[in-house]
A and B are shown apart, each in its own frame.
Chain A
Amino acid sequence: MTPLAALLVRDMRLAVRVGGGALMGVLFFLVVVSLTPFAIGPDLVLLKRIGPAILWLAALLASLLALDRLFAGDHDDGSLDLILTGHAPLELVVAVKGLAHWLTTGLPLVICAPLIGLLLNLDLPAEAVLMLTLLVGTPALTFIGLIGAAIAVTLRRGGLLLAVIVLPLTVPVLIFGVAAANAAIAGLSPFGTPFTILCALTLASLVVGPFAAAAALRQEME
Chain B
Amino acid sequence: MALIDLANPTRFLKFANSAIPWLAGLTVLAFGFGITQIMGAPDDYQQGATVKIMYLHVPSAWLGMLGWGLMTVAALGTLVWRHPLADVAAKAAAPIGAAFTLLCLVTGSLWGRPEWGTYWVWDARLTSELVLFLLYLAVIALWGTVEDPSRAARAVAVLTLVGAIDLPIIKFSVEWWNTLHQGASVFRPGGSTIYPTILIPLLVMAAAFTLLFATLVVAAMRNEILRRRVRTLQLMQASSAS
- A residues contacting B by CB (< 8 A) are 147, 150-151, 154-155, 158, 161, 164-165, 167-169, 171, 208, 212, 215-216, 219-220
The B interface is mostly helix, strand or loop, or mixed, namely helix
Residue contact A216 to B155, C-beta cutoff 8 Å: yes
Query: Which of B57-65, B111-119, B131-139, B207-215 lies on the face that meets chain A?
Result: B131-139
B146 within 8 A of A: yes
- Which residues of chain A are within 8 angstroms of B151 by Cβ–Cβ distance? 154, 219-220
The A interface is mostly helix, strand or loop, or mixed, namely helix
Contact of A212 among B127, B146, B161 (CB under 8 A): B161
Residue contact A219 to B137, C-beta cutoff 8 Å: no
- Which residues of chain A are within 8 angstroms of B163 by Cβ–Cβ distance? 168-169
As a 0/1 sequence over residues 141 to 152 of chain B, the CB contacts with chain A under 8 angstroms (1 = contact) are 110011000010
Give the total number of A-B pairs whose CB atoms are below 8 A apart. 53
B83 within 8 A of A: no
Can you offer 28 A-B residue contacts whose CB atoms are under 8 A?
Answer: A147-B158, A151-B155, A151-B158, A151-B159, A154-B151, A155-B145, A155-B146, A158-B145, A161-B142, A161-B145, A164-B134, A164-B137, A165-B141, A168-B131, A168-B135, A168-B138, A168-B163, A169-B162, A208-B162, A212-B158, A212-B162, A216-B158, A219-B151, A219-B155, A219-B157, A219-B158, A220-B151, A220-B155
**Shortest CB distance A190–B (Å):** 15
**Shortest CB distance A91–B (Å):** 13
Contact of A168 among B134, B146, B155, B158 (CB under 8 A): B134
Residue of B nearest to A213 (CB): B158
- Which residues of chain A are within 8 angstroms of B158 by Cβ–Cβ distance? 147, 150-151, 212, 215-216, 219
How many angstroms between the C-alpha atoms of A219 and B161 in the bound complex?
Answer: 14
How many angstroms between the C-alpha atoms of A150 and B159 in the bound complex?
Answer: 10
Residue of A nearest to B135 (CB): A168
**Shortest CB distance A160–B (Å):** 9
As a 0/1 sequence over residues 70 to 89 of chain B, the CB contacts with chain A under 8 angstroms (1 = contact) are 00000000010000000000
Residue contact A161 to B134, C-beta cutoff 8 Å: no
**Shortest CB distance B146–A (Å):** 7
Contact of B141 among A161, A212, A216, A220 (CB under 8 A): A161
Residue contact A215 to B134, C-beta cutoff 8 Å: no
B171 within 8 A of A: no
Residue contact B138 to A164, C-beta cutoff 8 Å: yes
How many angstroms between the C-alpha atoms of A151 and B158 in the bound complex?
Answer: 8
How many angstroms between the C-alpha atoms of A219 and B146 in the bound complex?
Answer: 13
B154 within 8 A of A: yes
- Which residues of chain A are within 8 angstroms of B162 by Cβ–Cβ distance? 147, 169, 208, 212
Q: Which of B127, B146, B158, B159 has the most CB of A within 10 A?
A: B158
Additional A-B contacts beyond A165-B138, A215-B79, A219-B157 (13; CB < 8 A): A147-B159, A150-B158, A151-B158, A155-B145, A164-B137, A165-B142, A168-B138, A168-B163, A171-B131, A212-B158, A219-B155, A219-B158, A220-B155
